Structure 1
Amino acid sequence: MGEQSQEKIAALSQKDVNVIPTLTGSYKDQDRGSRSKLVNATGLVWYPAETDVSIRPGWFYHSHEDAKVKTPEKLMDIYFTSVGRNGVLLLNIPPDKKGLIAESDVKNLATFGQKMKNTFSHNIAQEATITSTSDKGLKAMFDGKLNTYFTTKGQDSTATIELNWAKNRIFNVLSLQENIAVGQRIEKFEAEYFDGKEWKNFALGTTVGYKRLLKFKPVSTKQVRFKILASRLNPTLAEFGLYFLK
């Protein structure tokens, strides 16, 4: 992409209103990324969305708001609905009148950080025996590198990845990451677990992008199937994880 194109993209970003609302005032149901909308595009650019939020009710410090600092649970929820939905999180933490971060903010941030470590330090999927219907690089999904990835053979745009454990595992979070260096490709996916009698769905979605996090009721199983049902070109998965969030 040339310099002029990059300047044009930057000039058109960060606008006050960049989405045309529907008659109900919501843009959630608008189709702005399906194949029918992109087929005549002269160029496509992966551009991250940014979620700006303050740990406090406002953007600046006020002592009377010390009891209103966002809880670790609320911060985790914000992480899931920003970074976990292919966005970038900008968390504002204002200094007090002494130029220091208030004790209440520090305490909640530390607990939030520990909660993140406790959740994402143990990838249950990595302990499974993994097979796929069409694959290249299954092990790359667990190496912590975004430039190495699972993909399919030939021109396959769908795939099923199966995970098997020797005994039941419990999890309630699915984490997915694409190799966005080659584009955001996955269009539809679903995940199932075997309850001993039949396969049951526990998560489904459309886009993945840099990161997609899905929470659901705890699942206990020995078998999981992850299905990529539609993709633009060969799908990629740079990282795949199953975790337990307490």
Structure 2
Amino acid sequence: MLISLSRSFWVGIIAGGAVSVGLTAYASWPGVKTMGKATGSLVLATVAAAALLVAVVLFPFPYHVGRVGDLTSLFSSRTTDLSDVAISSRWNLLPPLVDEVKANPIVGSGFGEEVTFKTDDPRARAINPDGTWTTYALEWGWLEIWLKMGLLGPLAFVYAFYGLVRGLWGGLKTDQAWISVAFVSAIVMLYATHVFSPYLNHPLGLGLLMLAVPFLKPKPPAVKQEAGMVESVAPMAQASVAPLIAE
């Protein structure tokens, strides 16, 4: 995720990482030792990932073609350069996209709906020098879903988020809590990344949501009904047995 240099991924990493730390603390509480081990593992994994990036830049040693300074300057430029083509094109797309959403906010305009906007992308300007570009592949993922699927589209994905997190929450206090922590963090990362880049309505995003389904831990309705019957029958059984015990 880091080496991709995608700022959308970085936003997702921050959101998912924060949730991962919080859920790890919740799943480990009140075991301070367990929580310390889990937090240490997360920190160690982060340090190992950063070290791996540095090793890739310096390889082969000693005849490497890059320097650590090149890597740090690259990350710095990606976080501070607000005039980047990708950023300016996204902001240029936003007003026309919002206008298209307003045209059919309830039922949507369909999956093939196109939006025309001005882009600074040199590849587009090589075709149209004035920068005018028409496409159905859009950034601003949540607005794209709203544009193509209508208001029920974003609401459906929000409800899916609620259902998945609720189902995974039951595993946080089990021996396999790491599975729930991993999936909830990954889903949060996916939803946060989708704000700027369309991944939630992509096979990669949908595949992640489907992959989490087998690990849900809801209480089946039959179990709930059976538990309710047991609770209601228990007092009756005790009342009927009490005279026999007294005799």
TM-score under structure 1 length normalisation = 0.26
* Structure with the greater alpha carbon radius of gyration: 2
Determine which structure has the larger strand proportion and give its number.
1
Determine which structure has the larger helix proportion and give its number.
2
TM-score under structure 2 length normalisation = 0.26
